[in-house]
A and B are shown apart, each in its own frame.
Chain A
Amino acid sequence: MAGGDKYSVLLPTYNERENLPIIIWLLCKYLGESNLEYEIIVIDDGSPDGTLEVAKQLQEVYGQDKIVLRPRAKKLGLGTAYIHGIKHATGNFVIIMDADLSHHPKFIPEFIKKQKEGNFDLVSGTRYTGDGGVYGWDLKRKIISRTANYLTQILLRPGASDLTGSFRLFRKEALQNIVKACVSKGYVFQMEIIIRARQFGYTIGEVPIKFVDRVYGESKLGGSEVIGFAKGLLYLFATT
Chain B
Amino acid sequence: MELEVEGLRMVVMQCHILVYYNYYQRDTKGVVLNNYLNHLITTTTNMTKLMEWLTGAILFLGPWTAIVTTTIHNEFTVMHYQEILLLPFLLVAVFAVVSIAIIAFRVYSFNDCHQEAKELQEQILQAKADLAKRGIKLD
Contacts and interface: CB of A to CB of B under 8 A. Distances in A.
Are A and B interaction partners? yes
Interface of A: 18, 21-22, 25-26, 54, 57-58, 61, 101, 104, 118, 128-137, 139, 142-143, 146-147, 150, 154-157, 159, 161, 198, 201, 203, 205-206, 210-212, 215, 236-240
Main secondary structure of the interface of B (DSSP, over half): helix
Given A134-B113, A159-B31, A26 B123 contact: yes
A220 to B, nearest CB: 19
B29 to A, nearest CB: 13
**Quick one: which of A129, A205, A211, A212 has the most chain B CB within 10 A?**
A212
Contacts of B48: 237-240
Interface of B: 22-27, 31, 34-35, 38, 42, 48-50, 99, 102-103, 106-107, 110-114, 116-117, 120-121, 123-124, 127-128, 130-131, 134-136, 138-139
A132 B102 contact: no
B105 to A, nearest CB: 9
Contacts of B22: 203
B127 A26 contact: yes
Contacts of A21: 127-128, 131, 136, 138
A116 to B, nearest CB: 13
A7 B106 CA distance: 34
B42 to A, nearest CB: 8
